[in-house]
Amino acid sequence: MTTRRDFLKTAGVLTAATAFMKPSDIFAQKNNPKKISTSKKLQLDWENFDGIMKFTFTVSGSSRKGTPIVITRLSWNGYSGYGEAAMPPYLGETQASVNDFLKKVVENVLPKFDNPFCIQDIMLAVDKLSTNNTAAKASVDIALHDLVGNVMGQPWWKIWGFDSSKAPYTSYTIGYDASDEMINTKLDEANWNKIIKVKLGMTEAEDKRMINLIRARDSRPIIIDANQGWKDKYYALDMIHWLKEQGISMIEQPMSKYYLDDIAWITERSPLPIIADESCQRLTDIRTLHGAYHGINIKLMKCTGMREAREMVSLAKALHMKLMIGCMTETSIAISAAAQLSPEMEWADLDGNYLLGNDCFDGMKLVDGKITLEDKPGLGLTPKPGIIKL
Ligand code: MG
């Protein structure tokens, strides 16, 4: 039998829950059969989503037009949080592998926890389910952070104690293109932005053609991502000196991650900072990379999400390594999650949602290219109407 006291308690919880509910959640509840759980059991729902890119995206080694994505939602006690797994093909995860992994999370992890606040233990249990599946793990981690932030009524940059005014400008990526006209179109598309990131690592003639073409019309700062494309350390160092003369300010992953000694040799002599991307997946990689690179590029899809990314920030800073935050082609869910860490970063490359033609969420805003962190709970997300069903 429900007593008056019980009723008031329940009513209080529900009122508090509704007060913190985002318009997006109310929208989702109205339009979707997958309801937000009001029980004190963690409920995980997900939906496959095909990200469509505005341009064909070419980096050293591959070319593609779309990205498979899985959107997740964790709900508990009338609150909810969104997460995302974004899977460029080279990482080896698919929507099917993420779906299988999330089923394991539902069966083996969530029943052991009766509240979302044990982020550390929940994510360690999720991590133990398999060796890889880092994007699938990130989709749980990001939803969990959004959920907890929503329950607390605070954004993560604030919970972590970061100064939002220190958030950097993001770079905007110009991929390789054989057509000068197409590169000009991409530069026009990026005219709002303050920093350009250029993908190199093709032949010397093609790399120099890209830079000369851009420099002929554009004086904005440029950072370079060679995506492991340069094959010889002497050539790479010569190229870096040439790039410095063109006003380039940083180099990401000059050679294959398997040539760490060669990269350490380059780093020792380079006039520009050398940053690890493909070489740096998770927290434990930092120990090996210390001394071989000036810094690391953290990406949530590589490192299983916000919890481990936060730990990577602390370790890299303790080792006096430089920090960059990057992304895959992601919706505003994962971009807004990564943005929470951005005040600690020297460089941010959080343009993944701008490369998508069908972003399904509103989240972190760029103002003249600067990452702008708002005072909204969780990750500050709102689904765009009519795109996803969660
Ligand atoms: Mg990179």
Highest mean pLDDT among 36-40, 217-221, 376-380: 376-380
Q: Give the domain CATH number at 341.
A: 3.20.20.120
Whole-number Cα distances in Å, 46 to 75, 76, 177, 312: 11, 15, 35, 28
- Nearest 5°: CA angle at 53, between 333 and 375? 25
Task: Flag whether 278 is in a domain.
Answer: yes
Domain boundary among 89, 119, 154: 154
Nearest of 273, 282, 229 to residue 91 by alpha carbon: 282
Write down the H helix ranges in the chain. 4-20, 23-31, 95-104, 119-127, 134-152, 156-159, 180-189, 204-217, 233-245, 260-269, 285-289, 300-303, 306-318, 332-339, 352-355
- Are 121 and 222 in the same domain? no
What is the C-alpha separation between 20 and 92, in angstroms, rounded? 38
Ligand 1 centroid to Cα of residue 104, in Å, is: 31
Task: Flag whether 339 is in a domain.
Answer: yes
Domain boundary among 93, 122, 154: 154
Nearest of 249, 241, 312 to residue 280 by alpha carbon: 312
| pLDDT band, residue 58 (cuts 50/70/90) | low
pLDDT at position 341, please?
A: 98
- For the segment 26-38, the average pLDDT, to the nearest whole number, is 58
- Are 104 and 203 in the same domain? no
Q: Give the domain CATH number at 60.
A: 3.30.390.10
Ligand 1 centroid to Cα of residue 277, in Å, is: 5
Q: What mean pLDDT value characterizes the chain?
A: 90
- Are 206 and 311 in the same domain? yes
Decide: pTM greater than 0.95: no
Neighbours of ion ligand 1 (CB under 5 A): 225, 252, 277
Q: How many helices (H) and strands (E) does the chain have?
A: 15, 15
- Are 169 and 144 in the same domain? no
Question: Domain containing 141: what range?
Answer: 24-154
Domain boundary among 154, 174, 207: 154
- Are 92 and 202 in the same domain? no
Task: Flag whether 104 is in a domain.
Answer: yes
pLDDT at position 305, please?
A: 98
- For the segment 115-142, the average pLDDT, to the nearest whole number, is 98
- Are 247 and 115 in the same domain? no
- Are 85 and 214 in the same domain? no
Nearest of 86, 343, 60, 361 to residue 210 by alpha carbon: 60
Ligand 1 centroid to Cα of residue 219, in Å, is: 22
- Are 148 and 169 in the same domain? no
pLDDT at position 39, please?
A: 84
Ligand 1 centroid to Cα of residue 373, in Å, is: 24
- Are 235 and 326 in the same domain? yes
Q: How many domains does the chain have?
A: 2
- Are 303 and 327 in the same domain? yes
Ligand 1 centroid to Cα of residue 359, in Å, is: 21
Ligand 1 centroid to Cα of residue 53, in Å, is: 18
Task: Flag whether 388 is in a domain.
Answer: no
- Are 286 and 210 in the same domain? yes
Task: Flag whether 129 is in a domain.
Answer: yes
pLDDT in tens, 228-284: 999 999 999 999 999 999 999 999 999 999 999 999 999 999 999 999 999 999 999
